[in-house]
Chains A and B, each alone.
Chain A
Amino acid sequence: MSASSISSSHKAGILAEALPYIRGFHGKTFVIKYGGNAMTEPALKAAFGRDIALLRLVGMNPVVVHGGGPQINELLDTMGVEAVFRQGMRVTDEKTMKVVEMVLGELNQEIVGLINQHGGKAVGLNGQDGRFIHARKMLLPPAAGETEPVDLGLVGDIVHIDADLIDILSARGYIPVIMPIGVGPEGEPYNINGDLVAGRLAETLRAEKLLLLTNTPGVLDREGRLLNCLTAAEIEHLCRDGTIHGGMLPKLEAALHAVKHGVHSAHVVDGRVPNALLLEVLTSEGVGTTILPNDAPRFLADSRRYLESDTRNLAAP
Chain B
Amino acid sequence: MNLIAPLLCPERIRLKLDASSTSRVFEEAGRLFANSLGLDATQVAETLAEREAMGSTALGQGIALPHARLKGLRQAQAAYMRLDLPISFNAPDGKPVADLLVLLVPEKATEAHLELLAEAAQMFADRRFREQLRNQDDAAAVQQAFADWPATAQ
Q: List the interface of chain A (C-beta within 8 A of B).
A: 16-17, 19-21, 23-25, 28, 208-209, 225, 228-229, 264-265, 284-286, 290, 292, 296-300, 302-308, 311, 313-317
Contacts and interface: CB of A to CB of B under 8 A. Distances in A.
Among the interface residues B73, B96, B130, which one has the most CB atoms of the partner chain A within 10 A? B96
B50 interface: yes
A311 B69 contact: yes
Interface stretch (B1-9, B11-19, B107-115, B137-145): B107-115
A229 B130 CA distance: 14
A285 B130 contact: yes
SS class, residues of chain B in contact with chain A: mixed
7 contacts: A20-B86, A20-B87, A284-B98, A299-B117, A303-B51, A303-B114, A311-B71
A217 to B, nearest CB: 12
B153 interface: no
The interface centre, meaning the residue of B40, B43, B95 with most chain A CB atoms within 10 A of its CB, is B95
Chain B interface bracket (under 10, 10 to 19, 20 to 34, 35 or more):
35 or more
Given A225-B154, A285-B62, A298-B55, 13 more contacts: A28-B94, A228-B61, A264-B92, A264-B94, A285-B61, A299-B117, A300-B114, A302-B55, A306-B54, A314-B71, A314-B107, A316-B71, A317-B70
A24 B96 CA distance: 7
Contacts of A16: 85
Interface of B: 39-40, 43-44, 46-47, 50-51, 54-63, 65, 67, 69-73, 85-88, 92-96, 98, 105, 107, 109, 113-114, 117-118, 121, 125, 127, 130-131, 154
The 6 closest A-B pairs by CB, nearest first: A284-B62, A315-B43, A302-B55, A296-B92, A317-B72, A307-B109
B92 A292 contact: yes
Nearest to B65: A299
B92 A208 contact: no
A316 B130 CA distance: 34
A76 B96 CA distance: 46
Given A20-B86, A307-B109, A299 B55 contact: yes
A315 B109 contact: no
A81 B21 CA distance: 60
Contacts of B114: 300, 303-304, 307
A172 B14 CA distance: 45
Contacts of B72: 316-317
A300 B51 contact: no
B92 to A, nearest CB: 4
Nearest to A209: B94
A306 B109 CA distance: 10
A317 B71 contact: yes
A300 B96 contact: no
Contacts of A225: 154
A300 B86 CA distance: 23
B109 to A, nearest CB: 4
B71 A315 contact: yes
A292 B95 CA distance: 13
A7 B118 CA distance: 41
B132 to A, nearest CB: 13
A284 B95 contact: yes
Nearest to A25: B94
Nearest to A265: B93
Nearest to B87: A20
A295 B23 CA distance: 26
A264 B40 contact: no
A292 B86 CA distance: 21
Nearest to A303: B117
A19 B46 CA distance: 29
A317 B54 contact: no
A25 B133 CA distance: 26
Contacts of B62: 284-285
Contacts of B109: 307-308
A284 B62 CA distance: 5
Which of B51, B60, B125 neighbours the largest number of chain A CB atoms within 10 Å of its CB?
B60
Contacts of B55: 298-299, 302
